[in-house]
Amino acid sequence: MVVLAGLGVAGLVALAAGSTPLPGVAAITEDLRTAPEPIGRDDAAPIPAVRDVTAMVHAPGAATSSGAEADGSACVMQAPLTEVQLAEVLQAGYEAFYGRPASANRLACAWAHCAFEHGRGTKLFGNNLGHITTTGAWRGPTCVKSFTHKVSANPNRWASSSQTFRVHPTLEAGALDYWKLMDAQYPHVMIACDRGDSLAAARELRRRNYFTGPEDRYVQSLVQLYMEGLGSVLTKMAAPPWPIGPKPVR
């Protein structure tokens, strides 16, 4: 998403290639959430089936492929993904939705976003990429996750609340839904991504209320993760996106 002053995409790739995460990023991605934030709302009908994505609506209480149950039961953590697997499933969802592969800039943005939200792929539930919530209009299965957050200091006071999240039958369906949401509600985020401006993309997520926590923490992490994604994650994919790999045939 960001191009630092004086650095183009090639410079960022060279800077990030083979590097370890910048200080603080690993720790930042450890926590799922620290506050009950209005995370990525869309509240539209479930997305249609594509490829091997089966019916989106399960019977009440039916288990999803992640082990999380549908219709408001607790969100259950599923098997973790590697960083490369997270990139691959995002690319698969993009191709299912748009009919073509994502560019390196756009995919690196999405990878950085989901890497932050999901502890680099280690904290997933309900095959939900991006922690997409619903307030009731979503007609597919859901699960509920509780959060504890600080409401005041000196003395410290804590409160708990819950968010309702969408549940999908497969990771590919979750990735497709992520891109559907970004296309419908966050087009300016993707425009910033396309020009390699992760700073603007992250700030646009904040402006559009994708998150309501501390902006600096979220923005700095997405910028650093974007650089890491371009330099040492997307390059390891089976078919690295252009301009890292071959340009798609039109």
At residue 122, the pLDDT reads: 96
Query: Looking at residue 159, what is its pLDDT?
Result: 81
Given a contact cutoff of 8 angstroms between Cβ atoms, the answer to whether 159 and 44 are in contact is: no
Determine the average pLDDT of the residues in 44-71. 35
Distance separating alpha carbons of residues 163 and 147, to the nearest angstrom: 8
Q: What is the mean pLDDT of residues 91-103?
A: 97
Distance CA 108, CA 22 (A): 16
Averaged pLDDT for residues 14-29:
35
Q: Select from 33, 211, 24 the least CA-distant residue to 203.
A: 211
User: What does the pLDDT look like over 192-224, one tens digit per residue?
Assistant: 999 999 999 999 998 898 886 778 888 999 999
The strand pair at 157-166 and 73-74 is best described as unpaired
Q: From the options 1.10.530.10, 3.20.20.70, 3.40.1170.20, 1.10.260.40, give the CATH code of 10-236.
A: 1.10.530.10
Question: Can you tell me the distance from the alpha carbon of 151 to that of 185, in angstroms, rounded to the nearest whole number?
Answer: 29
Domain spans of the chain, in order of start? 10-236
